[in-house]
Structure 1
Amino acid sequence: MIEMRRARAEDAQSVRQLVREAYARWVPVIGREPMPMLADYDAAIRDHEIDLMVGDGEIIALIETIAHPDYLFIENIAVSPLHQGKGLGRRLLVHAERQAEAAGLFELRLLTNGAFEANVRLYQSAGFQIEKTEPFMGGTTVYMRKQLGG
């Protein structure tokens, strides 16, 4: 059984480890560590909302969000490599939609690396549209948004 809970200060190391494992596959693709691998998760847990998917007492996935006045920004989605391909990323996106709507927000936004083609496809299949792209550190940042009902 998988449950959702908010990350706490004592989860910072586990969050950091999950993110590093989840993003490790992209290091050879872009030739560097993706930005989420470099984040300060002590500060992120304090300053943002990080919701964890926990299965059998283990953190298996997470979503980090930041509420803005007119949209909810998805800062990070990470799924343990052992649990990728099981629909957890899509479930986390639905969780973000519910979170946004509960806060009276009707748009989700996120950024991703253009080289992360599987992620771009996932977001597009979940209703996100590419707003724009721009060069970043030798690659391309893809800005995406999804309008929610309301």
Structure 2
Amino acid sequence: MRLAKETDRGAVEELVQAAYQPWVAVIGARPRPMEADYAALISEGRVYVTGDDLDGLIVLIPENGVLYVDNVAVRPGLHGKGIGRSLLAFAEQEARRLGLPALRLYTNVKMARNIALYESLGYVVTGHKEREGRTVVAMRKQLP
């Protein structure tokens, strides 16, 4: 796991597009991560990547008392190999390193597979919200 560099931007953007493209038909719109400004996120030190060929990435934003997991993306051909779980385990390590006692995230209510993964890792649903005309599930994980 390492911080993304400016030279990774093209690969980061390609990975995000590939990872989220299958969800467009499911939710009826482009998921928010597909529209993010990765140049800015990389320059702010928010994007972490894993794998020699950028197998996955996670975007982490420290907030007051919590680490916000803004985006988790895994290359489509590598699903089921534990990359997403390792990215989320890294997020927990980062939260602890920063002295933050919890993590939070949002995911679209129609992304049932993602919700199930987060729940299996100890995240709990804290509510539903309308964001940009979409229903999202708010989730949180308190660290021991």
TM bucket, shorter chain: over 0.9
Name the TM-score, length of structure 2 as normaliser. Answer: 0.96
1:36 is the counterpart of 2:36: no
The counterpart of 1:68, out of the listed 63, 67, 70, is 63
Query: 8 Å contact 1:115–1:139 — kept in the other structure?
Result: no
Partner of 1:96: 91
Query: 8 Å contact 2:56–2:75 — kept in the other structure?
Result: yes
Partner of 2:73: 78
Deviations 1:14-55 (A, max 9, x none): 10000000001100011111010011110111124211111x
Deviations 1:88-114 (A, max 9, x none): 111111110011001111100001100
1:15 is the counterpart of 2:12: yes
* Pairs aligned (count): 144
Uncovered stretches (5+) of structure 2, i.e. residues with no partner = none
Query: 8 Å contact 1:48–1:66 — kept in the other structure?
Result: no
State the secondary structure of the residue aligned to 1:59.
coil
Query: 8 Å contact 1:109–1:143 — kept in the other structure?
Result: yes
The counterpart of 2:101, out of the listed 103, 106, 112, is 106
Query: 8 Å contact 1:18–1:78 — kept in the other structure?
Result: yes
Partner of 1:125: 120
CA RMSD for the aligned pairs? Answer: 1.1
Letter in 1 for 2:41: A
State the secondary structure of the residue aligned to 2:114.
helix
Uncovered stretches (5+) of structure 1, i.e. residues with no partner = none
| 1:136 Cα deviation after fit | 3.4
Name the TM-score, length of structure 1 as normaliser. Answer: 0.92
Where in structure 1 do 4 or more consecutive aligned residues deviate above 4 Å?
A: none
Letter in 2 for 1:18: L
Identical positions, percent: 42
